[in-house]
C-alpha cells in the first residue's frame, strides 16, 4: 500500500444495515415524562445515511456487509453469563443489564450484527481489501464492559472486532482513539491489562461515566502506559482538540506504533448535541479524521477504521458524518453545512484552562511512558 496515497485514491469501505435502525433503546427516566422520550434513537444515523446517499458520497465507497459473528467471537470480549442473560431477555420482552442500557425484544441479534459491522470493517482493512473503512453501526459499543451494558451500549463493538481480527488474521498492535464526548470506559476496561492495545479517550470531563476517564488511569501490569485519558473541560472547541492531538494523541501513537488505528467515532462532541456540552463544528470531525489519516500513513500503511458510537442531534450528526467520510475519501464540496458559522464561534480557539487540562494529561502520559518524545 502506498503511504503517500492521496485521499481520492483511497479505497474506502462502508458498512451499514437496515436492522441497525430497528433496535429499541429504552431508558426509563421515571417521573412525569411521557414514555418514549429517548435520546438514543435511529434518526440521527438514518439521516446521516440518507445524506451520504443524496450527496453522492456513499457511491464513492466500497460496500461491505456485516460479518455473521459466532458465540466465540462475543466471548473474547464478554463473559458467558452476560451473553446468556442478554440473549434470554432479548428473546422475551427485552430488559436492562446496566445503567442507561435498556433494550427491546430482538436487540441481541441486532447488537451482534452491529459488532459484526465493526468486525467486517476491521477485517477488510486488515486484509488489504480496502484502505480505510467506516462502520455506521447501531447500537454503539464503547461503554459496554465485559459483564455489563452501559450508556446505550450492549456489546463492545470495536473490542470484539479487534479480538476477532487478532484470532483470525494475526492482527498485531491496535490503537483505539475515542473522540466520543463520553469516556470510552468499556474499551478501556476490556484492554486495561493488554499491552498490545493502546486506548486513547478524549472526552468531556466527568460527563459519563462521571467516575472514570481520569488521567491517573493508565493501564495495569505490563500494559501500564497503554491507556491514555484526555478529560477536556466543557465548552472545548477545535482548538482544544487539535492541541490535545498535537501534544498527546499523536505522540502516543508514534510511541506505540500500531499496525492499525481504530476510531470510536462519536459525534456527540458536536456543538448542537443534547447529550454533551462541547462546541465542535461538523468540519472539526473532518479535520481530526485528516490528522489520523496522515498518522496512519506514517505508522501503519494507512490502515484506519472508524466505527460509529454516539451522536444524538438529528440536525447536526448527518453533517458531522458527511465531513468525516469526505475526509476519508479526499473529496470536498459535496455537502454544504448549514451550521458552518459555528466554525467562527468564540469557543473554537484554545483557552488557557483547556491548555492546562491537556498539559496535565500529557504529563500523565509521559509519566506512564505512553508519550516518549519531548518527555518532561
- Cα→Cα distances 91→125, 196, 233, 371, Å: 34, 36, 42, 46
Burial 331-370 (b: 16+ CB within 10 A, else e): beebbebebeebbeeebbebbeebeebbeebbbbbbbbeb
Contact 267, 320 (CB under 8 A): yes
Using only C-alpha atoms, the chain has a radius of gyration, in whole angstroms, of: 19
| Strand-pair category, 174-178 with 197-204 | parallel
Contacts of 18 (CB under 8 A, 6+ apart): none
Residue the block writes with cell 505522540: 251
DSSP letters spanning 123-157: HHHHTTSSSEEEE--SS--TT-BTTB-BTTB-S-H
Distance (Å, whole) CA 189 – CA 144: 9
**Whether the Cβ atoms of residue 230 and residue 245 lie closer than 8 Å to each other:** no
Q: Which of the residues are catalytic?
A: 143
* Phi (first) and psi of residue 247, to 5 degrees: -95, -25
Among the listed residues 225, 364, 214, the one whose alpha carbon sits nearest the alpha carbon of residue 376? 364
Reduced to 3 states (helix: H, G, I; strand: E, B; else coil), residue 284 is helix
Amino acid at each position: 500500500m502506498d503511504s503517500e496515497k492521496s485521499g481520492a485514491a483511497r479505497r474506502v469501505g462502508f458498512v451499514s444495515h437496515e436492522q441497525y435502525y430497528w433496535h429499541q433503546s429504552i431508558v426509563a427516566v421515571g417521573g412525569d415524562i411521557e414514555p418514549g422520550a429517548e435520546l438514543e434513537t435511529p434518526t440521527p444515523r438514518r439521516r446521516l445515511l440518507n445524506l451520504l446517499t443524496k450527496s453522492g458520497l456513499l457511491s464513492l465507497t466500497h460496500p461491505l456487509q456485516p460479518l455473521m459473528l459466532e458465540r466465540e467471537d462475543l466471548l473474547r470480549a464478554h463473559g458467558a453469563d452476560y451473553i446468556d442473560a442478554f440473549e434470554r431477555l432479548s428473546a422475551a420482552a427485552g430488559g436492562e443489564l446496566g445503567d442507561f442500557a435498556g433494550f427491546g425484544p430482538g436487540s441481541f441479534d441486532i447488537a451482534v450484527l452491529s459488532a459484526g459491522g465493526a468486525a467486517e470493517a476491521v477485517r477488510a482493512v486488515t486484509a488489504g481489501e480496502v484502505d480505510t473503512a467506516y462502520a455506521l453501526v447501531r447500537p454503539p459499543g464503547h461503554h459496554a464492559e465485559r459483564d455489563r451494558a452501559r450508556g446505550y451500549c450492549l456489546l463492545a463493538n470495536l473490542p470484539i472486532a479487534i479480538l476477532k481480527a487478532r484470532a483470525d488474521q494475526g492482527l498485531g498492535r491496535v490503537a483505539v482513539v475515542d473522540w466520543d464526548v463520553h469516556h470510552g470506559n468499556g474499551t478501556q476496561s476490556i484492554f486495561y491489562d493488554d499491552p498490545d492495545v493502546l486506548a486513547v479517550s478524549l472526552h468531556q470531563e466527568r460527563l459519563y461515566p462521571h467516575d472514570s476517564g481520569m488521567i491517573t488511569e493508565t493501564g495495569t501490569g505490563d500494559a501500564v502506559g497503554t491507556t491514555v485519558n484526555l478529560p477536556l473541560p466543557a465548552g472545548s472547541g477545535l482548538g482544544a482538540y487539535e492541541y490535545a492531538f498535537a501534544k498527546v494523541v499523536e505522540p502516543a501513537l508514534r510511541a506505540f506504533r500500531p499496525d492499525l488505528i481504530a476510531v470510536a467515532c462519536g459525534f456527540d462532541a458536536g456543538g448542537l448535541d443534547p447529550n454533551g456540552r462541547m462546541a465542535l463544528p461538523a468540519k472539526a470531525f473532518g479535520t481530526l479524521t485528516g490528522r489520523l489519516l496522515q498518522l496512519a500513513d506514517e505508522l501503519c500503511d494507512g490502515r484506519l477504521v472508524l466505527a460509529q458510537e454516539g451522536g444524538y442531534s438529528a440536525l447536526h450528526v448527518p453533517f458531522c458524518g458527511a465531513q468525516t467520510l469526505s475526509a476519508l475519501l479526499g473529496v470536498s464540496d459535496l455537502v454544504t453545512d448549514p451550521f458552518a458559522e459555528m466554525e467562527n464561534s468564540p469557543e473554537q480557539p484554545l483557552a488557557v484552562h483547556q491548555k492546562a487540562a491537556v498539559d496535565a494529561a500529557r504529563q500523565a502520559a509521559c509519566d506512564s511512558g505512553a508519550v516518549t518524545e519531548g518527555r518532561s
